[in-house]
Each structure stands twice: as structure tokens, then as C-alpha cells.
Structure 1
Amino acid sequence: MYTLITVLIFITCALLILIVLVQNSKGGGLASNFQSSNQIMGVRKTTDFLEKATWYLAGALLVLSVMGSAFIPRSAEEANQSAIQEQIENAVDPNAVPDFPMTAPAEDNAEETPAE
């Protein structure tokens, strides 16, 4: 189910990109090509369709994103312990003091007498 929702999100994103690029900007767009009066779908109807399509695709993207987050595959082991928690538990404590000898080693050699 998660894969299906992900594919639908990608398709919605591609359509949304195309619709936004086709819309009428300051310089024109798709609507500027339909200026003849004998067209069935005139300039105003084209811009209304493109605006409605943009809103519907944005809403669909929102709904699919929420649904996708609900269907993220999780196993029982991953739910109990995340990778971040595992890294925290395995990390070395930076405040830990290494175990160095606290006293000077005892001298094994007693005072040596010089050989005569």
C-alpha cells in the first residue's frame, strides 16, 4: 500500500508541476494561445480549469502525504528500538576517565651498592 501511495504522490507532483508551468503568468502561458473567440474553451475557461486543477492536485498531494505517513512499513523490532537509540547506547562516554594507575609503581630494586 505504501508503494502505491508513493507512486500516486510522484504522479501528482509531476502533474502539478506541469499545470503550474502552463498557467498564465505575466508574459502569457497556455491561456494566451486560446485568444480566438470561436474556441469552445476560451481564455477565461482555460484559466479557471488550470486554477481548479492546481487546487485539486495540491489537495490530493496533501491527502496522499498524510496517508503515506500512516502506511510507512514498520517491523516490530524497529518500533521497539530505533537506530538513533542504538547509536546513543553504543556511544563512548566523553566524560569517562580512563583507568590509569593512581600510584607510582613500587621500586623493585633496593639501593644497589656499587661493586668494588
Structure 2
Amino acid sequence: MLIIFGILIILACVLLGFFVLIQNPKGGGLSGALGGVGNQVIGVRQTTDVLEKGTWILAVLIAVLCLTAPFFIGKGGKAGQTLAPSAVEKAGAGAPMPQAPATPLPGTTPAPAPAPGK
């Protein structure tokens, strides 16, 4: 499901970039450099309206997709768990830490016990 969200977000970002590059706040932009076909069919005013509405729609779509995508991440995991169990085991976090021996090794002298009262 996250792959679908990712593809939709990337597609919307590319389209949004295209819409922004076509527009020019002073009226020219690339829409006039595309042969003027769009201007002959629907006129300059309608072209800028469509591009502006498309920009807002794509911006809202990206925001909604980004805000809803986290709801589909990792259902059923333990709270606070950020790594997959196999990744934790590979890192060695699942292995017990070695403990110091309870009895001194042969040939070594035990450390003196601390004095009482200190």
C-alpha cells in the first residue's frame, strides 16, 4: 500500500512542478511558447485559470497523501519497535551479554573484599 502512496505522491509532485513551470505570474510563461494552440482553443484567461486550479488541487492532493500514508505503516508491530526482528538479531541486540565468571579463574587471585563500613 505504501508503494502505491509513493507512486501517487511522486506523480503528483512531477505534475505540480510541470504546472508551476508553465505558469508565469506576468502572463507569458511557457503556455505562449507551446505554439499558441492552447490560446486558440480555450483562450489565455481560461488557460491560466485551469493551471492555477490544477496547482492548488495537486498541492492539496500531495498534502492529503502525505498525511494519510503513515496510517498504513506496520500494523501489528510492538509499540516502540522500529526495526524488524531479523534486523535486531543480525545486529546482535538479541544475544545475551556475557557475564563475568562467578568464581575466579584458576591461577588468579580474587580481589579483596571491601572493608565493612565503607
Q: Contact 1:2 / 1:73 at 8 angstroms: preserved in 2?
A: no
Q: Contact 2:23 / 2:51 at 8 angstroms: preserved in 1?
A: yes
Q: In 1, Cα distance between the equivalents of 2:57 and 2:77?
A: 37
Which runs of 5 or more residues in structure 2 are unaligned? 84-118
The correspondence of residues 77-96 of structure 1 with structure 2, limited to 5 A, is 77=78, 79-82=79-82
Q: In 1, Cα distance between the equivalents of 2:75 and 2:60?
A: 26
Deviation by residue 1:41-83 (Cα, 9 ceiling, x = unmatched): 1110100000000000001001100111221235624x33447
Q: Secondary structure at the match of 1:30?
A: coil
Number of aligned residue pairs: give it. 86
CA RMSD between the two structures: 3.2
- Corresponding residue for residue 29 of structure 2: 29
Q: Percent identity?
A: 43
**TM-score of the two chains, using structure 2 as the length reference:** 0.58
The 1:21–1:69 alpha-carbon spacing in structure 2 relative to 1, beyond 3 Å, is: same
* Residue identity in the other structure for 1:63: V
* Residue identity in the other structure for 2:20: V
The 1:36–1:64 alpha-carbon spacing in structure 2 relative to 1, beyond 3 Å, is: closer
- Corresponding residue for residue 6 of structure 2: 6
Which runs of 5 or more residues in structure 1 are unaligned? 84-116
Which entry has the higher C-alpha Rg, 1 or 2?
A: 1
Q: Does 1:61 align with 2:98?
A: no
**TM-score of the two chains, using structure 1 as the length reference:** 0.59
Deviation by residue 1:87-109 (Cα, 9 ceiling, x = unmatched): xxxxxxxxxxxxxxxxxxxxxxx
Q: In 2, Cα distance between the equivalents of 1:54 and 1:36?
A: 18
Q: In 2, Cα distance between the equivalents of 1:76 and 1:82?
A: 9
The 1:35–1:11 alpha-carbon spacing in structure 2 relative to 1, beyond 3 Å, is: closer
Q: In 1, Cα distance between the equivalents of 2:69 and 2:43?
A: 38
The 1:56–1:24 alpha-carbon spacing in structure 2 relative to 1, beyond 3 Å, is: same
Q: Secondary structure at the match of 2:73?
A: coil
Q: Contact 2:23 / 2:31 at 8 angstroms: preserved in 1?
A: yes
Q: In 2, Cα distance between the equivalents of 1:60 and 1:66?
A: 10
